[in-house]
């Protein structure tokens, strides 16, 4: 057994060798013979009617192969939506067409109008400037409240701009209203969950290729889920059967959700490659990414928490407007509903919960899942309103949380919002983070900071997450137009090495390392003998890809099941070779043994026998050693954790400095603790980015006000601290074979409320109740500035 690279070992990431030496192979690194280059002509206005579109001059420009417009896509489907929400009246959501290229109207800045395909990127750009577009401006709706109260319609199909009006749990509505009316105390908070751009390091890229000899299409693309793209694009857009369409997602430089979706550019290059019979490549610039990648969050929420006289939570009511942007991105409708409403119980015993979500069309870039997707929005509002309630009631925010936590002896716990939590120990993670944050020493630190003119604050949050969204039967009932299992094939090669083909996709997560650890541990062979293959629909079984922190819980479980089948078959072969009964064969540390004897065969010997079946139980066992599993989980997994953030505010300038960040997470069993820590660091960085720096806003005309890194502030190392991480409070998941829960999004979910709670705590002398994210120096200073006269008057 090779414990050093089995489950639980902090093995170094094997993929880093190629990434850090510049040998990664990203989509833009791929160049096909005879390749042409596509440049999109995009709308510069948020809403308008295309009066005329003349491509004559562009088409005649040097090097141009063809200029495409919507006319070329007549009879081609629009970009499909993968999730249907049924609204409170039982009607399906409004689902207006999302054309590949704008048909008659443009609906957001960046909406593609035409595409120039030429022999070089420069020729394509030159010709793109010659495309003559005349657009008659239409009134644009940017703000959601304006959109639903008489603003211009983004789509004729939704005159009130409402995609759906959703209630959950509808049967609880009256009881929640009643409980809030009769509560001893109600805390109300109105807040905004700010719109973000994912900004993965690698911008999107797509190459379409067509082989006339066998009518075979290939799409190379920056995707988190190549099979999903093959299904959506093949079946719903271009009408290409799966056996004629290969989708390859090679090394992908980060996704954070934004590379889940099927985008028009992918369909375009695939379509154009066949039309022109030459490969066609499109590479997004960073500026283009700002107006064409699906964005994240953008909720406007009112949350009300009712408490009884003993400070027990009695009811919660949440009213949210969720921005869809101008078109429905692939999974957009499910984010503010099933990934948000079902998490509103948090870690608490609140018996009655009701939420109303209106999804709103606006003349802005489409919005979809971004690291956490719905769950950060749920956690943020809950953890903020609880902190506010504690402040109003004059009790400790930690104590108020602990008083209302689900106890560790109450699992499995049925929440009032449909889901059943399997395990957790919220008191343990909260107590742990309180200890890590040295709460008892805080007053001393605060007094020391005050001497330097700084305001110190300490904020806590406790999150719940739901990962590995499943089972398929449930998500189907909730409106998903796909299953949510994962697939894996484990192929033992004749000389004992192993190739694992997974439907999960790694775009920074380190699957090649962790999945190999799982297999190494189970087979008792060194991880170096195991290769993890992903990202090519011609090589891996039909899989659903990577998002929602599902890879280890669902993809890892599929691998586990396949390895179990391998071991079961290998035992039959071993029994034959060892002339023993199958029931007497044990498998440990890579050795098949006859129990109670010293007779043994190594794993490699069995592998060879399976492929060279000379002495073989051929009557009952087929040759070969390769197994496939499709794992469909019984439930979500429910990671949770306590986070604490300590900050210092400079009251003169509004600058917030993060002093310390502590995370006590429960991810169940850990396969590679080092990689888990990396996920926490990255997640917390993104969460603090959202809470302190990042924001996409539009002016009244729908022009983006932070459309580049000159104005869109990404977190830098100097904005952050080394996160102090603890994993000692793990409670293994009860329903997957590895006992794992998933860790990819937790940091981004738990950190924004911890950070904001810390800043509000620091500002307590000014009685500031809330500041909407991001808490930029300007926003903090303005809150202080507004509060100062009132505080001074007291």
Q: Which residues bind another protein (CB under 8 A)?
A: 125, 129, 287, 652-653, 693, 695, 697, 705-706, 709-714, 776-778, 781-782, 785
| Crossing angle (nearest 10°) for helices 511-523 and 556-577 | 30
Sequence length of the chain is 794
Minimum separation from the CB atom of position 768 to another protein (A): 16
Name the residue nearer to another protein (CB basis): 606 or 779.
779
Minimum separation from the CB atom of position 235 to another protein (A): 38
Number of alpha carbons in the 13 Å side-chain half-sphere of residue 336: 33
Q: Bridge-partner residues for 284, per DSSP?
A: none
- The dihedral built from the CA positions of residue 617, 619, 624 and 627, taken in this order, carries a sign that is negative
Minimum separation from the CB atom of position 127 to another protein (A): 13
By DSSP bridging, strand 352-361 and strand 313-325 are: parallel
Cβ atoms 720, 685 nearer than 8 A: yes
Which H helix or E strand runs over 136?
strand 132-137
Name the residue nearer to another protein (CB basis): 615 or 653.
653
Residues 6+ apart with CB under 8 A from 186: 180, 304, 305, 306, 307
Minimum separation from the CB atom of position 653 to another protein (A): 6
Minimum separation from the CB atom of position 785 to another protein (A): 8
Q: Bridge-partner residues for 133, per DSSP?
A: 53
Minimum separation from the CB atom of position 449 to another protein (A): 18
Name the residue nearer to another protein (CB basis): 3 or 125.
125
Name the residue nearer to another protein (CB basis): 617 or 777.
777
Minimum separation from the CB atom of position 318 to another protein (A): 28
For the purposes of burial, counting CB atoms within 10 Å of the CB of 55, is it exposed (0-12), middle (13-18) or buried (19 or more)? buried
How does 108-129 read in b/e, with b if 16+ C-beta sit within 10 Å?
Answer: bbbbbbbbbbbbeeebbebbbe
Helix (H, G, I), strand (E, B) or coil at 463: strand
Name the residue nearer to another protein (CB basis): 188 or 287.
287
Task: State how far the Cα of 518 lies from the Cα of 780, in Å rounded to an integer.
Answer: 47
Name the residue nearer to another protein (CB basis): 61 or 267.
61
Minimum separation from the CB atom of position 345 to another protein (A): 35
Name the residue nearer to another protein (CB basis): 18 or 125.
125
Name the residue nearer to another protein (CB basis): 625 or 759.
759
Minimum separation from the CB atom of position 47 to another protein (A): 22
Question: Token pair for residue 11?
Answer: 């093995």
| Crossing angle (nearest 10°) for helices 397-404 and 375-393 | 120
By DSSP bridging, strand 585-588 and strand 591-594 are: antiparallel
Name the residue nearer to another protein (CB basis): 442 or 781.
781
Alpha-carbon distances, residue 636 vs 68, 211, 482, 670, 734 (angstroms): 44, 42, 16, 17, 11
What would you measure as the largest C-alpha separation in the chain, in angstroms?
Answer: 95
Question: Token pair for residue 313?
Answer: 């939570």
Task: State how far the Cα of 783 lies from the Cα of 780, in Å rounded to an integer.
Answer: 5
Closest CA to 253 of 546, 511, 509: 509
Minimum separation from the CB atom of position 748 to another protein (A): 19
Task: State how far the Cα of 741 lies from the Cα of 222, in Å rounded to an integer.
Answer: 26
Name the residue nearer to another protein (CB basis): 97 or 286.
286
Name the residue nearer to another protein (CB basis): 194 or 549.
194
Minimum separation from the CB atom of position 38 to another protein (A): 17
Cβ atoms 667, 757 nearer than 8 A: no
Minimum separation from the CB atom of position 731 to another protein (A): 39
Name the residue nearer to another protein (CB basis): 444 or 653.
653
Task: State how far the Cα of 233 lies from the Cα of 787, in Å rounded to an integer.
Answer: 54
Q: Return the number of other C-beta atoms located less than 10 Å from residue 546's C-beta.
A: 31
Cβ atoms 26, 202 nearer than 8 A: yes
Name the residue nearer to another protein (CB basis): 738 or 780.
780
Helix (H, G, I), strand (E, B) or coil at 665: strand
Cβ atoms 210, 273 nearer than 8 A: yes
Task: State how far the Cα of 768 lies from the Cα of 728, in Å rounded to an integer.
Answer: 36
Name the residue nearer to another protein (CB basis): 410 or 705.
705
Minimum separation from the CB atom of position 383 to another protein (A): 24
If you count DSSP H runs as helices and E runs as strands, how many of each does the chain have, helices first? Answer: 19, 28
Binning the chain into helix, strand and coil, the percentages to the nearest 5 are: 35, 25, 45
Alpha-carbon distances, residue 682 vs 477, 639, 678, 687 (angstroms): 34, 17, 6, 9
Name the residue nearer to another protein (CB basis): 181 or 785.
785
Minimum separation from the CB atom of position 408 to another protein (A): 42
Minimum separation from the CB atom of position 699 to another protein (A): 10
Minimum separation from the CB atom of position 323 to another protein (A): 18
Name the residue nearer to another protein (CB basis): 153 or 692.
692
Cβ atoms 666, 429 nearer than 8 A: yes
């Amino acid at each position: 057994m090779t414990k050093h690279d089995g489950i639980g070992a902090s093995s170094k990431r094997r993929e880093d060798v190629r990434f850090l030496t510049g040998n990664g192979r990203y989509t833009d690194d791929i160049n096909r013979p005879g390749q042409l280059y596509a440049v999109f002509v995009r709308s510069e206005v948020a809403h308008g009617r295309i009066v005329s579109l003349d491509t004559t001059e562009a088409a005649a420009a040097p090097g141009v192969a063809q200029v495409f417009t919507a006319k070329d896509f007549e009879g081609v489907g629009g970009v499909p939506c993968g999730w249907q929400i049924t609204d409170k009246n039982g009607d399906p959501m409004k689902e207006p067409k999302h054309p590949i290229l704008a048909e008659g109207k443009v609906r957001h800045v960046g909406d593609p109008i035409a595409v120039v395909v030429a022999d070089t990127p420069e020729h394509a750009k030159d010709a793109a400037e010659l495309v003559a577009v005349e657009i008659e401006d239409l009134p644009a709706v940017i703000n959601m409240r304006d959109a639903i109260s008489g603003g211009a319609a983004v789509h004729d199909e939704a005159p009130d701009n409402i995609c759906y009006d959703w209630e959950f749990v509808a049967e609880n509505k009256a009881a929640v209203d009643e409980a809030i009316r009769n509560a001893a105390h109600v805390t109300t908070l109105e807040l905004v969950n700010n719109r973000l751009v994912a900004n993965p390091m690698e911008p999107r890229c797509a190459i379409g290729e067509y082989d006339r000899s066998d009518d075979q299409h290939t799409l190379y693309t920056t995707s988190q889920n190549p099979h999903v793209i093959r299904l959506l694009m093949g079946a719903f857009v271009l009408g290409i059967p799966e056996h004629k369409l290969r989708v390859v997602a090679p090394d992908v430089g980060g996704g954070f959700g934004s590379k889940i979706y099927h985008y028009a550019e992918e369909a375009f290059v695939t379509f154009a490659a066949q039309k022109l019979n030459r490969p066609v490549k499109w590479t997004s610039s960073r500026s283009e990414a700002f107006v064409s990648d699906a964005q994240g969050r953008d909720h406007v929420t009112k949350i009300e928490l009712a408490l009884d006289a003993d400070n027990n939570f009695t009811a919660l009511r949440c009213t949210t407007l969720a921005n869809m942007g101008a078109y429905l991105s692939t999974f957009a409708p499910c984010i503010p509903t099933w990934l948000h409403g079902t998490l509103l119980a948090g870690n608490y015993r609140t018996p009655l919960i009701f939420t109303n979500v209106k999804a709103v069309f606006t003349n802005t870039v489409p919005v979809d899942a971004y690291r956490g997707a719905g769950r950060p929005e749920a956690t943020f509002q809950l953890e903020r309103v609880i902190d506010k309630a504690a402040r109003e009631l004059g009790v400790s925010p930690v104590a108020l949380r602990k008083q209302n936590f689900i106890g560790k002896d109450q699992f499995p716990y049925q929440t009032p919002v449909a889901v059943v939590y399997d395990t957790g120990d919220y008191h343990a993670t909260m107590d742990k983070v309180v200890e890590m944050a040295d709460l008892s020493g805080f007053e001393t630190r605060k007094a020391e900071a005050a001497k330097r003119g700084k305001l110190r604050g300490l904020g806590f949050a406790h999150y719940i997450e739901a990962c590995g969204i499943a089972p398929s039967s449930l998500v189907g009932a909730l409106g998903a137009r796909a299953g949510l299992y994962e697939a894996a094939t484990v192929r033992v090669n004749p000389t004992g090495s192993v190739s694992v083909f997974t439907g999960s996709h790694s775009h920074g997560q380190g699957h090649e390392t962790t999945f190999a650890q799982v297999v190494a541990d189970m087979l008792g062979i060194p991880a170096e003998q195991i290769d993890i293959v992903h990202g090519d629909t011609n090589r891996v079984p039909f899989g659903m890809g990577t998002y929602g922190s599902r890879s280890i819980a669902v993809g890892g479980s599929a691998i586990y099941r396949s390895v179990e089948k391998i071991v079961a078959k290998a035992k039959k072969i071993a029994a034959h070779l060892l002339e023993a009964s199958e029931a007497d064969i044990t498998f440990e540390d890579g050795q098949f043994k006859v129990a109670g004897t010293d007779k043994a065969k190594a794993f490699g010997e069995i592998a060879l026998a399976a492929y060279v079946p000379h002495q073989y139980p051929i009557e009952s066992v087929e040759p070969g050693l390769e197994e496939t599993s499709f794992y469909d989980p019984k439930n979500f997994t429910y990671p949770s954790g306590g986070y604490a953030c300590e900050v210092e505010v400079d009251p003169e300038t509004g600058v917030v400095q993060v002093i310390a960040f502590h995370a006590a997470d429960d991810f169940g069993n850990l396969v590679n603790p080092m990689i888990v820590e990396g996920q926490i660091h990255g997640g917390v960085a993104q969460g603090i980015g959202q809470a302190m720096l990042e924001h996409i806003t539009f002016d009244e005309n729908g022009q983006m006000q932070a459309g580049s890194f000159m104005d869109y502030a990404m977190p830098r190392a100097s904005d952050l601290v080394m996160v102090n991480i603890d994993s000692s409070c793990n409670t293994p998941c009860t329903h997957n074979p590895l006992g794992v829960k998933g860790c990819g999004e937790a940091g981004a979910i738990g950190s924004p409320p911890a950070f904001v709670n810390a800043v509000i705590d620091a500002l307590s002398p000014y009685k500031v109740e809330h500041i909407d994210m991001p808490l930029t120096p300007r926003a903090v200073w303005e809150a202080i500035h507004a509060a100062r006269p009132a505080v001074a008057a007291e």
